[in-house]
A = this chain, B = another copy of it.
Amino acid sequence: MNRRDEILAAAAEVFAQHGFRGSTTRRIADAAGVNEITIFRQFGSKEALLREAMKHMTESAGLATLPEIPSDPERELTEWSESFIQHLRLRSSIIRKTMGEIEERPEMSKCASFVPTQASNELCKYLVALRRQGGTSEKFDPKTAAAMLMGAMFADAMGRGMMPDVYPQPQGKAAHMYTVLLLRALGVEFGSRRTTNKQSKRTKQLSA
């Protein structure tokens, strides 16, 4: 049991560093402090081990959620974005490896797409609720808006290490900056920051 989990953790770590082909059973065994043969007795093959390691990792994701009823979009979305971008940053190595190998190992794609798909749905649902509340003053497609925010964070998490100058500074505020930009695109009014003078339309049903 314990041994098994140690091997799974080591396999995930080695995979994050070297990818599938580079994750030799020798390396995994060394990383786990275990004899190579134990891996084969426990999991049968390298492929089965890595498959299980991936599943194990996906299951222990634990994404943040957004409230059903938006009340403070800037705060709520910023917090959600920060947790999402942190999730991506912590896993950036493994995500890069997985993406690079998805064409050769399509069975991984289910594992890989689970988290972002769920996050996208969560965000879309929130944006739709926000619009229904009258919290937005611009027309927008929720899916596009969600893809834009998540895409920006994804690219940031994947690329900042390689080209830090391209991404906003400081790193810790990036999620907030992307979020604010998106909210402006949707025409969301900001409580404290600046009282815009467009009280024209859709100030009707601020209820809920």
Contact = CB atoms under 8 A, between A and B. Distances in A.
Nearest to A140: B181
A144 interface: yes
A120 interface: yes
Interface string A100-137: 11111000010011001100100000000000000000
A18 B19 CA distance: 12
A197 B203 CA distance: 15
A1 interface: no
Interface string A187-200: 10000000011101
B93 A96 contact: no
A45 interface: no
A172 interface: no
Contact of A155 (B19, B93, B154, B198): B154
A99 B101 contact: no
A57 interface: no
A9 to B, nearest CB: 19
Query: How many of these chains are in the complex?
Result: 2
Q: How large, as a class, is the contact surface on chain A? A: 35 or more
A168 B150 CA distance: 13
B159 A116 contact: yes
A163 B101 contact: no
A185 interface: yes
Contact of A185 (B98, B120, B147, B185): B185
A56 to B, nearest CB: 20
Nearest to A154: B155
A88 B93 CA distance: 21
A116 B181 contact: no
Given A116-B159, A154-B151, A145 B100 contact: no
Contacts of A197: 198, 200
A184 B138 contact: yes
A190 to B, nearest CB: 11
A47 interface: no
Contact of A177 (B101, B144, B178): B144
